[in-house]
Chains A and B, each alone.
Chain A
Protein backbone atom coordinates (compact mmCIF):
# COMPACT_ATOMS: atom_id res chain seq x y z
CA UNK A 1 0.00 0.00 0.00
CA UNK A 2 2.76 2.42 -0.81
CA UNK A 3 2.20 5.67 -2.62
CA UNK A 4 4.06 6.26 -5.88
CA UNK A 5 4.04 9.75 -7.32
CA UNK A 6 5.39 9.97 -10.83
CA UNK A 7 6.21 13.06 -12.95
CA UNK A 8 3.39 15.23 -11.66
CA UNK A 9 3.17 18.59 -13.43
CA UNK A 10 0.67 21.36 -12.96
CA UNK A 11 0.59 24.82 -14.48
CA UNK A 12 -1.50 27.70 -13.33
CA UNK A 13 -2.23 30.61 -15.64
CA UNK A 14 1.11 32.33 -15.14
CA UNK A 15 3.54 29.86 -13.58
CA UNK A 16 4.38 26.19 -13.16
CA UNK A 17 3.27 25.11 -9.70
CA UNK A 18 4.65 21.60 -10.14
CA UNK A 19 7.29 20.71 -12.66
CA UNK A 20 7.74 16.96 -12.85
CA UNK A 21 7.59 15.78 -9.25
CA UNK A 22 8.30 12.09 -8.52
CA UNK A 23 8.79 10.28 -5.26
CA UNK A 24 7.78 7.20 -3.34
CA UNK A 25 6.16 7.03 0.08
CA UNK A 26 6.44 3.67 1.88
CA UNK A 27 3.38 2.46 3.71
CA UNK A 28 2.90 3.97 7.15
CA UNK A 29 5.58 6.63 6.63
CA UNK A 30 5.30 10.16 7.90
CA UNK A 31 6.51 12.49 5.16
CA UNK A 32 7.10 16.23 5.26
CA UNK A 33 6.88 18.43 2.17
CA UNK A 34 9.22 21.25 3.12
CA UNK A 35 9.81 24.41 1.15
CA UNK A 36 9.24 28.15 0.91
CA UNK A 37 5.85 29.52 -0.08
CA UNK A 38 5.18 29.10 -3.78
CA UNK A 39 7.28 25.95 -4.00
CA UNK A 40 4.25 23.88 -4.99
CA UNK A 41 3.94 21.80 -1.83
CA UNK A 42 0.31 22.67 -1.09
CA UNK A 43 -0.65 22.10 -4.72
CA UNK A 44 0.87 18.62 -4.54
CA UNK A 45 -1.01 17.86 -1.34
CA UNK A 46 -4.28 19.06 -2.89
CA UNK A 47 -3.66 16.84 -5.92
CA UNK A 48 -3.24 13.85 -3.61
CA UNK A 49 -6.48 14.83 -1.88
CA UNK A 50 -8.35 15.12 -5.19
CA UNK A 51 -8.93 18.86 -4.80
CA UNK A 52 -6.77 19.79 -7.80
CA UNK A 53 -5.95 17.96 -10.99
CA UNK A 54 -2.46 17.75 -12.50
CA UNK A 55 -1.84 18.43 -16.17
CA UNK A 56 0.24 15.27 -16.45
CA UNK A 57 1.81 12.52 -14.38
CA UNK A 58 0.42 9.61 -12.40
CA UNK A 59 -0.14 8.63 -8.81
CA UNK A 60 -0.53 5.01 -7.75
CA UNK A 61 -1.72 4.03 -4.32
CA UNK A 62 -2.16 0.39 -3.37
CA UNK A 63 -2.40 -0.58 -7.04
CA UNK A 64 -5.09 2.01 -7.63
CA UNK A 65 -4.89 4.71 -10.28
CA UNK A 66 -5.26 7.27 -7.49
CA UNK A 67 -5.92 10.22 -9.81
CA UNK A 68 -8.87 8.36 -11.33
CA UNK A 69 -10.61 8.11 -7.97
CA UNK A 70 -13.02 11.02 -7.34
CA UNK A 71 -12.25 13.09 -4.24
CA UNK A 72 -15.33 11.94 -2.40
CA UNK A 73 -14.39 8.27 -2.85
CA UNK A 74 -10.69 8.58 -2.01
CA UNK A 75 -11.02 8.58 1.75
CA UNK A 76 -7.95 10.78 1.94
CA UNK A 77 -8.23 12.45 5.32
CA UNK A 78 -7.48 16.07 4.48
CA UNK A 79 -6.75 18.54 7.26
CA UNK A 80 -6.99 22.08 5.95
CA UNK A 81 -4.63 24.84 6.92
CA UNK A 82 -7.41 26.90 8.48
CA UNK A 83 -9.23 23.71 9.45
CA UNK A 84 -12.34 24.43 7.33
CA UNK A 85 -14.57 23.31 10.16
CA UNK A 86 -18.29 23.61 9.37
CA UNK A 87 -19.06 26.66 11.44
CA UNK A 88 -22.77 25.98 11.81
CA UNK A 89 -22.23 22.45 13.16
CA UNK A 90 -21.13 21.43 16.64
CA UNK A 91 -17.82 19.69 17.16
CA UNK A 92 -19.60 16.32 17.31
CA UNK A 93 -21.58 17.06 14.14
CA UNK A 94 -18.37 18.05 12.39
CA UNK A 95 -16.74 14.77 13.29
CA UNK A 96 -19.82 12.75 12.35
CA UNK A 97 -20.23 14.47 8.99
CA UNK A 98 -18.19 12.02 6.92
CA UNK A 99 -20.18 9.09 8.31
CA UNK A 100 -23.58 10.75 7.93
CA UNK A 101 -23.08 11.57 4.26
CA UNK A 102 -22.26 8.00 3.28
CA UNK A 103 -24.60 6.27 0.88
CA UNK A 104 -27.35 4.66 2.90
CA UNK A 105 -26.20 1.07 2.54
CA UNK A 106 -22.76 2.00 3.89
CA UNK A 107 -23.96 4.39 6.55
CA UNK A 108 -23.47 3.15 10.12
CA UNK A 109 -26.51 3.29 12.41
CA UNK A 110 -26.93 6.38 14.55
CA UNK A 111 -25.77 4.73 17.76
CA UNK A 112 -22.64 3.49 16.04
CA UNK A 113 -21.92 6.99 14.71
CA UNK A 114 -22.32 8.46 18.19
CA UNK A 115 -20.03 5.83 19.63
CA UNK A 116 -17.37 6.58 17.04
CA UNK A 117 -17.63 10.30 17.67
CA UNK A 118 -17.11 9.78 21.41
CA UNK A 119 -14.17 7.52 20.71
CA UNK A 120 -12.56 10.08 18.41
CA UNK A 121 -13.20 12.90 20.86
CA UNK A 122 -11.29 10.80 23.39
CA UNK A 123 -8.51 10.12 20.94
CA UNK A 124 -7.94 13.82 20.28
CA UNK A 125 -8.41 14.61 23.98
CA UNK A 126 -11.51 16.71 23.57
CA UNK A 127 -13.89 14.72 25.78
CA UNK A 128 -16.94 16.72 26.74
CA UNK A 129 -16.52 19.39 24.07
CA UNK A 130 -18.76 17.69 21.51
CA UNK A 131 -21.63 20.13 21.92
CA UNK A 132 -19.49 23.25 21.42
CA UNK A 133 -19.38 25.15 18.17
CA UNK A 134 -16.03 25.71 16.42
CA UNK A 135 -16.12 29.40 17.35
CA UNK A 136 -16.32 28.44 21.02
CA UNK A 137 -13.04 26.49 21.22
CA UNK A 138 -9.38 27.47 20.91
CA UNK A 139 -7.25 27.21 17.78
CA UNK A 140 -5.39 24.14 19.06
CA UNK A 141 -8.69 22.45 19.84
CA UNK A 142 -10.08 23.33 16.39
CA UNK A 143 -7.00 21.74 14.88
CA UNK A 144 -7.67 18.51 16.75
CA UNK A 145 -11.34 18.57 15.73
CA UNK A 146 -10.23 18.85 12.11
CA UNK A 147 -7.98 15.85 12.64
CA UNK A 148 -10.71 13.82 14.33
CA UNK A 149 -13.10 14.67 11.51
CA UNK A 150 -10.56 13.40 8.98
CA UNK A 151 -9.93 10.26 11.02
CA UNK A 152 -13.64 9.48 11.28
CA UNK A 153 -13.83 8.30 7.69
CA UNK A 154 -11.10 5.71 8.35
CA UNK A 155 -8.79 7.43 5.88
CA UNK A 156 -6.42 5.52 3.66
CA UNK A 157 -3.90 8.34 4.08
CA UNK A 158 -3.70 11.56 6.06
CA UNK A 159 -2.92 14.83 4.30
CA UNK A 160 -2.16 17.81 6.51
CA UNK A 161 -1.71 21.31 5.10
CA UNK A 162 0.49 23.41 7.42
CA UNK A 163 -1.05 21.62 10.39
CA UNK A 164 0.42 24.02 12.95
CA UNK A 165 0.59 27.12 10.80
CA UNK A 166 -2.15 29.04 12.55
CA UNK A 167 -1.10 28.23 16.12
CA UNK A 168 1.20 30.04 18.54
CA UNK A 169 4.61 28.63 19.35
CA UNK A 170 3.76 26.94 22.65
CA UNK A 171 0.66 25.11 21.42
CA UNK A 172 2.56 24.18 18.30
CA UNK A 173 5.26 22.34 20.24
CA UNK A 174 2.73 20.47 22.36
CA UNK A 175 0.61 19.40 19.40
CA UNK A 176 3.68 18.32 17.49
CA UNK A 177 4.68 15.66 19.99
CA UNK A 178 1.11 14.54 20.31
CA UNK A 179 0.66 14.20 16.53
CA UNK A 180 3.86 12.16 16.24
CA UNK A 181 2.73 9.70 18.91
CA UNK A 182 -0.73 9.51 17.34
CA UNK A 183 0.87 8.62 14.04
CA UNK A 184 2.89 5.89 15.68
CA UNK A 185 -0.27 4.48 17.19
CA UNK A 186 -2.43 4.58 14.04
CA UNK A 187 0.25 3.87 11.44
CA UNK A 188 -1.59 5.69 8.65
CA UNK A 189 0.56 6.92 5.76
CA UNK A 190 0.72 10.66 6.38
CA UNK A 191 1.98 13.61 4.39
CA UNK A 192 2.18 17.11 5.77
CA UNK A 193 3.14 20.43 4.29
CA UNK A 194 5.30 22.89 6.19
CA UNK A 195 7.65 25.79 5.61
CA UNK A 196 9.24 25.27 9.04
CA UNK A 197 12.28 23.00 8.77
CA UNK A 198 12.50 22.43 12.51
CA UNK A 199 8.98 21.05 12.40
CA UNK A 200 9.75 18.89 9.38
CA UNK A 201 12.88 17.39 10.88
CA UNK A 202 11.31 16.84 14.31
CA UNK A 203 8.25 15.03 13.01
CA UNK A 204 8.89 13.28 9.73
CA UNK A 205 10.47 9.98 8.76
CA UNK A 206 11.19 11.38 5.32
CA UNK A 207 11.53 14.96 4.15
CA UNK A 208 11.02 16.22 0.61
CA UNK A 209 12.59 19.66 0.19
CA UNK A 210 10.75 21.51 -2.56
CA UNK A 211 11.60 24.59 -4.56
CA UNK A 212 9.87 26.11 -7.58
CA UNK A 213 7.75 23.07 -8.28
CA UNK A 214 10.58 20.55 -8.05
CA UNK A 215 11.92 18.25 -5.40
CA UNK A 216 15.46 19.31 -4.53
CA UNK A 217 16.16 16.47 -2.14
CA UNK A 218 14.21 13.58 -0.68
CA UNK A 219 15.52 11.55 2.25
CA UNK A 220 15.59 11.06 5.98
CA UNK A 221 16.10 14.15 8.12
CA UNK A 222 19.64 12.98 9.01
CA UNK A 223 20.59 12.59 5.33
CA UNK A 224 19.22 15.96 4.38
CA UNK A 225 20.93 17.74 7.25
CA UNK A 226 24.27 15.95 6.89
CA UNK A 227 24.51 16.05 3.13
CA UNK A 228 22.45 18.74 1.42
CA UNK A 229 22.43 17.73 -2.20
CA UNK A 230 21.88 21.07 -3.89
CA UNK A 231 22.95 24.64 -3.13
CA UNK A 232 19.29 25.52 -2.56
CA UNK A 233 18.89 22.93 0.20
CA UNK A 234 22.11 24.01 1.89
CA UNK A 235 21.07 27.61 1.77
CA UNK A 236 17.53 26.87 2.91
CA UNK A 237 18.83 24.96 5.95
CA UNK A 238 21.14 27.78 6.92
CA UNK A 239 18.64 30.51 6.40
CA UNK A 240 15.98 29.55 8.88
CA UNK A 241 16.52 29.83 12.60
CA UNK A 242 16.86 26.64 14.62
CA UNK A 243 18.77 24.86 11.87
CA UNK A 244 19.98 21.32 12.44
CA UNK A 245 17.85 20.58 15.48
CA UNK A 246 18.98 16.96 15.54
CA UNK A 247 22.67 17.81 15.84
Chain B
Protein backbone atom coordinates (compact mmCIF):
# COMPACT_ATOMS: atom_id res chain seq x y z
CA UNK B 1 0.00 0.00 0.00
CA UNK B 2 1.26 3.48 -0.71
CA UNK B 3 0.26 6.53 1.25
CA UNK B 4 -2.82 8.34 -0.05
CA UNK B 5 -0.74 11.42 -0.79
CA UNK B 6 1.69 9.57 -3.03
CA UNK B 7 1.26 9.33 -6.76
CA UNK B 8 1.27 5.95 -8.43
CA UNK B 9 4.43 4.64 -10.11
CA UNK B 10 3.09 5.36 -13.57
CA UNK B 11 2.25 9.00 -12.85
CA UNK B 12 5.54 9.37 -11.10
CA UNK B 13 7.49 7.79 -13.95
CA UNK B 14 5.78 9.87 -16.60
CA UNK B 15 6.33 13.11 -14.68
CA UNK B 16 10.00 12.42 -14.07
CA UNK B 17 10.53 11.32 -17.67
CA UNK B 18 8.83 14.46 -18.98
CA UNK B 19 10.84 16.63 -16.61
CA UNK B 20 14.17 15.16 -17.58
CA UNK B 21 13.22 15.04 -21.25
CA UNK B 22 12.13 18.67 -21.26
CA UNK B 23 15.21 19.84 -19.40
CA UNK B 24 17.56 17.89 -21.67
CA UNK B 25 15.83 19.07 -24.82
CA UNK B 26 15.49 22.73 -23.90
CA UNK B 27 18.36 23.37 -21.52
CA UNK B 28 21.12 20.76 -21.74
CA UNK B 29 21.28 20.42 -25.50
CA UNK B 30 21.63 24.14 -26.22
CA UNK B 31 24.39 24.31 -23.66
CA UNK B 32 26.21 21.34 -25.19
CA UNK B 33 25.79 22.86 -28.64
CA UNK B 34 27.69 25.97 -27.56
CA UNK B 35 30.75 24.05 -26.40
CA UNK B 36 30.72 21.48 -29.18
CA UNK B 37 30.52 24.16 -31.87
CA UNK B 38 33.29 26.15 -30.24
CA UNK B 39 35.56 23.11 -30.31
CA UNK B 40 34.44 22.01 -33.76
CA UNK B 41 37.81 22.91 -35.32
CA UNK B 42 39.85 22.07 -32.25
CA UNK B 43 40.89 23.84 -29.10
CA UNK B 44 43.51 25.89 -30.90
CA UNK B 45 41.06 27.47 -33.30
CA UNK B 46 38.78 28.37 -30.41
CA UNK B 47 41.62 29.94 -28.44
CA UNK B 48 42.78 31.86 -31.49
CA UNK B 49 39.30 33.25 -31.94
CA UNK B 50 39.25 34.31 -28.31
CA UNK B 51 42.61 36.04 -28.39
CA UNK B 52 42.29 38.08 -31.54
CA UNK B 53 42.24 41.84 -30.86
CA UNK B 54 38.54 42.32 -31.55
CA UNK B 55 37.57 39.56 -29.12
CA UNK B 56 39.94 40.85 -26.48
CA UNK B 57 38.57 44.35 -26.79
CA UNK B 58 35.02 42.97 -26.53
CA UNK B 59 35.96 41.10 -23.34
CA UNK B 60 37.61 44.22 -21.94
CA UNK B 61 34.61 46.41 -22.78
CA UNK B 62 32.22 43.93 -21.15
CA UNK B 63 34.30 44.00 -17.98
CA UNK B 64 34.36 47.81 -17.93
CA UNK B 65 30.62 48.13 -18.47
CA UNK B 66 29.88 45.65 -15.67
CA UNK B 67 32.45 47.31 -13.42
CA UNK B 68 30.54 50.60 -13.69
CA UNK B 69 26.95 49.36 -13.83
CA UNK B 70 27.06 46.77 -11.03
CA UNK B 71 28.49 49.02 -8.28
CA UNK B 72 26.02 51.77 -9.16
CA UNK B 73 23.10 49.38 -8.93
CA UNK B 74 24.56 48.01 -5.71
CA UNK B 75 24.63 51.49 -4.24
CA UNK B 76 21.08 52.05 -5.41
CA UNK B 77 19.88 48.72 -4.05
CA UNK B 78 21.34 49.33 -0.60
CA UNK B 79 20.02 52.88 -0.51
CA UNK B 80 16.52 51.90 -1.66
CA UNK B 81 16.37 49.01 0.78
CA UNK B 82 17.53 51.19 3.66
CA UNK B 83 14.86 53.80 2.93
CA UNK B 84 12.10 51.26 2.31
CA UNK B 85 12.82 48.60 4.92
CA UNK B 86 13.99 50.76 7.81
CA UNK B 87 11.57 53.67 7.58
CA UNK B 88 7.84 54.27 7.25
CA UNK B 89 6.57 56.75 4.71
CA UNK B 90 3.70 57.23 2.36
CA UNK B 91 4.03 55.96 -1.17
CA UNK B 92 6.29 53.12 -0.11
CA UNK B 93 4.44 50.42 -2.02
CA UNK B 94 4.39 52.57 -5.15
CA UNK B 95 8.16 52.99 -4.86
CA UNK B 96 8.63 49.24 -4.43
CA UNK B 97 6.68 48.47 -7.59
CA UNK B 98 8.52 51.18 -9.54
CA UNK B 99 11.83 49.57 -8.60
CA UNK B 100 10.70 46.39 -10.35
CA UNK B 101 9.50 48.26 -13.43
CA UNK B 102 12.58 47.67 -15.63
CA UNK B 103 11.97 43.91 -15.48
CA UNK B 104 8.70 44.30 -17.33
CA UNK B 105 10.18 46.43 -20.11
CA UNK B 106 11.59 44.80 -23.23
CA UNK B 107 15.40 45.13 -23.42
CA UNK B 108 15.05 46.70 -26.85
CA UNK B 109 12.82 49.39 -25.36
CA UNK B 110 15.43 49.87 -22.62
CA UNK B 111 17.91 50.77 -25.34
CA UNK B 112 15.38 52.73 -27.33
CA UNK B 113 14.55 55.18 -24.53
CA UNK B 114 18.15 56.35 -24.31
CA UNK B 115 18.39 56.74 -28.08
CA UNK B 116 15.25 58.89 -27.93
CA UNK B 117 16.99 61.19 -25.46
CA UNK B 118 20.65 61.11 -26.45
CA UNK B 119 20.52 59.89 -30.06
CA UNK B 120 21.24 61.98 -33.17
CA UNK B 121 17.60 63.04 -33.38
CA UNK B 122 16.95 62.71 -29.69
CA UNK B 123 15.98 65.50 -27.31
CA UNK B 124 19.55 66.26 -26.33
CA UNK B 125 21.12 65.02 -29.57
CA UNK B 126 21.89 68.39 -31.20
CA UNK B 127 23.25 69.85 -27.96
CA UNK B 128 25.46 66.83 -27.37
CA UNK B 129 26.81 66.97 -30.92
CA UNK B 130 27.63 70.67 -30.56
CA UNK B 131 29.58 69.98 -27.41
CA UNK B 132 31.18 66.87 -28.85
CA UNK B 133 29.78 64.53 -26.22
CA UNK B 134 29.06 61.03 -27.41
CA UNK B 135 26.65 58.91 -25.40
CA UNK B 136 24.89 56.72 -27.93
CA UNK B 137 27.26 54.46 -29.89
CA UNK B 138 29.77 54.91 -27.05
CA UNK B 139 30.57 53.66 -23.58
CA UNK B 140 28.10 55.88 -21.65
CA UNK B 141 25.18 54.54 -23.68
CA UNK B 142 26.25 50.94 -23.10
CA UNK B 143 26.53 51.61 -19.38
CA UNK B 144 23.13 53.36 -19.20
CA UNK B 145 21.34 50.55 -21.04
CA UNK B 146 23.05 47.95 -18.87
CA UNK B 147 22.13 49.80 -15.68
CA UNK B 148 18.52 49.87 -16.82
CA UNK B 149 18.17 46.15 -17.46
CA UNK B 150 19.99 45.17 -14.26
CA UNK B 151 18.39 47.92 -12.20
CA UNK B 152 16.21 45.86 -9.79
CA UNK B 153 18.48 42.88 -9.03
CA UNK B 154 20.14 44.07 -5.82
CA UNK B 155 17.18 46.09 -4.55
CA UNK B 156 14.61 43.33 -4.97
CA UNK B 157 16.84 40.96 -3.04
CA UNK B 158 17.59 43.38 -0.21
CA UNK B 159 14.16 44.96 0.32
CA UNK B 160 12.37 41.78 1.48
CA UNK B 161 15.45 40.58 3.38
CA UNK B 162 15.89 43.81 5.33
CA UNK B 163 12.15 44.14 5.91
CA UNK B 164 12.12 40.64 7.40
CA UNK B 165 15.05 41.42 9.65
CA UNK B 166 13.21 44.37 11.16
CA UNK B 167 14.73 47.35 12.90
CA UNK B 168 15.42 45.98 16.38
CA UNK B 169 19.12 45.42 15.93
CA UNK B 170 19.67 48.86 14.41
CA UNK B 171 17.66 50.50 17.18
CA UNK B 172 19.65 48.57 19.77
CA UNK B 173 22.89 49.77 18.17
CA UNK B 174 21.76 53.40 18.22
CA UNK B 175 20.62 53.16 21.84
CA UNK B 176 24.03 51.71 22.70
CA UNK B 177 25.62 54.84 21.28
CA UNK B 178 26.52 53.83 17.71
CA UNK B 179 26.45 56.44 14.94
CA UNK B 180 24.46 55.91 11.75
CA UNK B 181 27.48 54.72 9.79
CA UNK B 182 28.64 52.46 12.61
CA UNK B 183 25.17 50.98 12.78
CA UNK B 184 25.13 50.31 9.05
CA UNK B 185 28.61 48.86 8.73
CA UNK B 186 28.70 46.89 11.98
CA UNK B 187 25.12 45.70 12.33
CA UNK B 188 23.16 45.95 9.08
CA UNK B 189 25.84 45.01 6.55
CA UNK B 190 26.98 41.80 8.29
CA UNK B 191 23.35 40.69 8.41
CA UNK B 192 22.72 41.21 4.71
CA UNK B 193 26.10 40.34 3.23
CA UNK B 194 25.08 37.03 1.67
CA UNK B 195 21.88 38.44 0.28
CA UNK B 196 23.88 41.32 -1.10
CA UNK B 197 26.34 38.97 -2.74
CA UNK B 198 23.44 37.01 -4.22
CA UNK B 199 21.95 40.13 -5.75
CA UNK B 200 25.32 41.29 -7.08
CA UNK B 201 25.94 37.85 -8.60
CA UNK B 202 22.70 37.92 -10.58
CA UNK B 203 23.16 41.58 -11.45
CA UNK B 204 26.64 40.91 -12.79
CA UNK B 205 25.58 37.88 -14.83
CA UNK B 206 22.90 39.91 -16.55
CA UNK B 207 25.18 42.94 -16.98
CA UNK B 208 27.84 40.91 -18.74
CA UNK B 209 25.36 38.96 -20.83
CA UNK B 210 22.90 41.66 -21.84
CA UNK B 211 22.28 41.78 -25.55
CA UNK B 212 19.08 43.49 -26.66
CA UNK B 213 19.46 46.78 -24.82
CA UNK B 214 23.14 47.30 -25.57
CA UNK B 215 22.61 46.21 -29.15
CA UNK B 216 20.35 49.22 -29.70
CA UNK B 217 22.78 51.77 -28.27
CA UNK B 218 26.07 50.22 -29.39
CA UNK B 219 26.30 50.94 -33.10
CA UNK B 220 28.32 47.72 -33.44
CA UNK B 221 31.68 49.35 -34.05
CA UNK B 222 34.12 46.47 -34.01
CA UNK B 223 36.91 46.73 -31.51
CA UNK B 224 35.23 49.79 -29.98
CA UNK B 225 31.63 49.42 -28.92
CA UNK B 226 31.09 45.68 -29.15
CA UNK B 227 30.59 43.89 -25.86
CA UNK B 228 30.99 40.12 -25.80
CA UNK B 229 27.36 39.27 -26.64
CA UNK B 230 27.40 41.80 -29.49
CA UNK B 231 30.68 40.37 -30.72
CA UNK B 232 29.04 36.94 -30.76
CA UNK B 233 26.34 38.31 -33.03
CA UNK B 234 28.78 39.99 -35.40
CA UNK B 235 30.91 36.85 -35.74
CA UNK B 236 27.87 34.64 -36.18
CA UNK B 237 26.42 36.83 -38.89
CA UNK B 238 29.83 36.72 -40.61
CA UNK B 239 29.65 32.92 -40.63
CA UNK B 240 32.66 32.74 -38.29
CA UNK B 241 30.96 30.05 -36.26
CA UNK B 242 34.00 28.85 -34.35
CA UNK B 243 34.75 32.38 -33.23
CA UNK B 244 31.13 33.12 -32.35
CA UNK B 245 30.79 29.96 -30.30
CA UNK B 246 34.19 30.39 -28.69
CA UNK B 247 33.15 33.78 -27.30
CA UNK B 248 29.73 32.31 -26.53
CA UNK B 249 31.28 29.49 -24.50
CA UNK B 250 33.12 32.03 -22.41
CA UNK B 251 29.74 33.61 -21.65
CA UNK B 252 28.22 30.18 -21.05
CA UNK B 253 31.01 29.42 -18.57
CA UNK B 254 30.18 32.66 -16.79
CA UNK B 255 26.55 31.52 -16.63
CA UNK B 256 27.55 28.12 -15.24
CA UNK B 257 29.80 29.66 -12.60
CA UNK B 258 26.97 32.02 -11.68
CA UNK B 259 24.53 29.11 -11.34
CA UNK B 260 26.95 27.11 -9.20
CA UNK B 261 27.64 30.05 -6.87
CA UNK B 262 23.94 30.86 -6.74
CA UNK B 263 23.00 27.29 -5.78
CA UNK B 264 25.80 27.29 -3.23
CA UNK B 265 24.55 30.51 -1.64
CA UNK B 266 20.96 29.28 -1.61
CA UNK B 267 22.00 26.03 -0.01
CA UNK B 268 24.48 27.34 2.52
CA UNK B 269 22.93 30.64 3.54
CA UNK B 270 19.23 29.99 2.99
CA UNK B 271 18.25 32.06 6.06
CA UNK B 272 20.15 35.08 4.91
CA UNK B 273 18.87 35.25 1.34
CA UNK B 274 15.42 36.56 0.70
CA UNK B 275 15.21 34.90 -2.69
CA UNK B 276 15.80 31.53 -1.07
CA UNK B 277 12.56 31.88 0.86
CA UNK B 278 10.70 32.30 -2.38
CA UNK B 279 11.97 28.92 -3.49
Contacts and interface: CB of A to CB of B under 8 A. Distances in A.
Partners in one complex: yes
Interface of A: 49-51, 71-78, 80, 82, 84-89, 97-98, 101-102, 149-150, 152-153
B191 A101 contact: no
Contacts of A71: 171, 174-175
Given A84-B172, A87-B169, A88-B191, 13 more contacts: A49-B175, A71-B175, A76-B175, A80-B168, A82-B168, A84-B171, A89-B190, A97-B178, A98-B178, A101-B176, A101-B186, A149-B172, A153-B176
A86 B177 contact: no
Q: What 9 A-B pairs have minimum CB-CB distances, sorted nearest first?
A: A84-B168, A98-B176, A101-B178, A84-B172, A88-B190, A78-B175, A101-B182, A71-B174, A72-B177
Contact of B175 (A74, A87, A88): A74
21 contacts: A49-B175, A51-B175, A72-B174, A72-B177, A76-B175, A77-B175, A78-B171, A78-B172, A78-B175, A82-B168, A85-B172, A86-B169, A86-B173, A87-B191, A98-B178, A101-B173, A102-B177, A149-B172, A149-B176, A150-B176, A153-B176
A101 B190 CA distance: 16
B178 to A, nearest CB: 4
Contacts of A72: 174-179
B175 A86 contact: no
Interface string B75-111: 0000000000000000000000000000000000000
Contacts of A88: 190-191
B128 interface: no
Contacts of B175: 49-51, 71-72, 74, 76-78
Contacts of B177: 72-73, 75, 98, 101-102, 153
Interface of B: 168-169, 171-179, 182, 186-187, 190-191
Contacts of A102: 177
A152 B178 CA distance: 13
A101 B179 contact: yes
Contacts of A153: 176-177
A76 to B, nearest CB: 6
Nearest to B172: A84
A150 to B, nearest CB: 8
B187 A86 contact: yes
A197 to B, nearest CB: 26
Contacts of A82: 168
B65 to A, nearest CB: 34
B61 to A, nearest CB: 38
A52 to B, nearest CB: 10
A201 B45 CA distance: 85
Contacts of A101: 173, 176-179, 182, 186
Contacts of A150: 176
